[in-house]
Amino acid sequence: MKKTRKLKWNWTLFFFILPGFLIYSVFFAGPTVAALYLSFTDWNGVSPTYNFIGFSNYKEMLTDSPIFVQSLGNNLKFTLGVLIFQTVLSLFFAILLAKNTKANIVYRAIYFFPTIVASVSIAFIWTFMYDPNIGVINSVLNNIGLENLAKSWLGDRKLAIYSLAFVQFWAHTGQMLTIFIAGLHAIPKELYEAASIEGANKWQTFRHITWPLLAPSATIVAAYTTIQSFKAFDLVIAMTGGGPAHATEILSTFLYHEAFINFKFGYASAASVIFMVIIAIITVLQFRLLKSNDVKL
């Protein structure tokens, strides 16, 4: 005899997921749908009425907005620089500090400390250090006879975006370091013992054991760093405000200026949709390129 079982809805479980569902709906899904809708309007953010203008905002942005194109280029430079240096440095320090000795634990804490400091505080500190007149960096260069290397780090249009990128990966390298250390500790020690017995050198061990098995950690680091770099709004606003002459304008600051300075909320909403699509595409590509089975050197 086969007994049919009726599935009963457990309302207790429903109430467990309800808070998360509400938070997600109110702070993510709802604003996303609203931004998509407003991107087809000319709403100024204040008026109770607005007009539906179709794809005009997107057309203007992609064909007749040099600042948007410049912001996208700046963001790509900023993200690429942070991604490369932050990943390499965090992996390097993770390998050095992988063993759980007292000294290594202290160093990990020191490297991680900037991560818990507010970005605005970090921005103010580095703005002072970059100051061309009284800043620590130029003062040190002048005192050691390298005054030719002293620059206006935030005033030079060609140099400013890279100066900001340095601050970004300086502040978050320790955060990525902890992810790589967790990945290193998950690798079985037997593999290293076998490699040692076979006579593999350090580079061969890293290439054939450490790096392939760190691929999941590298994927997380790459994706998180990319998203973090595209959303480095507070750092840029506090240090340069997007200047000089939009040289450090990135997509997030471009959205802010268009929405809250120029009161073009419909236009800014269209930019936010493009912003979201770009991050999604880059993240998906990173996950595909850094799959564990496909990582090769």
Q: Which tens digits make up the pLDDT trace of 170-207?
A: 999 999 999 999 999 999 999 989 998 988 898 999 99
Considering the domain boundaries, does residue 20 fall inside one?
A: no
Q: Which residue, 76, 53, 48, 69, is CA-closest to 269?
A: 53
pLDDT of 295 reads: 44
Q: Which structural domain range is residue 266 located in?
A: 30-289
Q: Give percent of the chain with pLDDT exceeding 70.
A: 94
What the block records as the tokens of 84 is 């490369």
Considering the domain boundaries, does residue 16 fall inside one?
A: no
Considering the domain boundaries, does residue 223 fall inside one?
A: yes
Q: Which residue, 26, 47, 44, 31, is CA-closest to 263?
A: 44
Hey, what amino acid is at 207? Answer: R
* pLDDT at residue 249 tops 50: yes
pLDDT of 109 reads: 93
Hey, what amino acid is at 33? Answer: V
Considering the domain boundaries, does residue 233 fall inside one?
A: yes
What the block records as the tokens of 121 is 């505080």
Is residue 105 within a helix (H) or strand (E), and if so which, with residue range? Answer: helix 102-116
pLDDT of 293 reads: 46
Phi, psi of 136 (to 5 degrees): -65, -40
Considering the domain boundaries, does residue 260 fall inside one?
A: yes
Band the pLDDT of 297: cuts 50, 70, 90: very low
Phi, psi of 187 (to 5 degrees): -80, 125
Considering the domain boundaries, does residue 4 fall inside one?
A: no
Q: Check which CATH number belongs to the domain holding 283 and give it.
A: 1.10.3720.10
DSSP letter at 48 equals S
Considering the domain boundaries, does residue 275 fall inside one?
A: yes
Considering the domain boundaries, does residue 112 fall inside one?
A: yes
* pLDDT at residue 5 tops 70: no
52 forms beta bridges with: 41
- CA–CA separation, 268 vs 265, rounded Å? 5
- Number of domains making up the chain: 1
**Residue 140: alpha-carbon gap to chain centroid:** 30
Predicted confidence (pLDDT) per residue in 200-224, tens digit: 898 999 999 998 899 889 888 988 8
Neighbours of 115 (CB within 10 A): 16
Q: Which residue, 270, 217, 260, 218, is CA-closest to 55?
A: 270
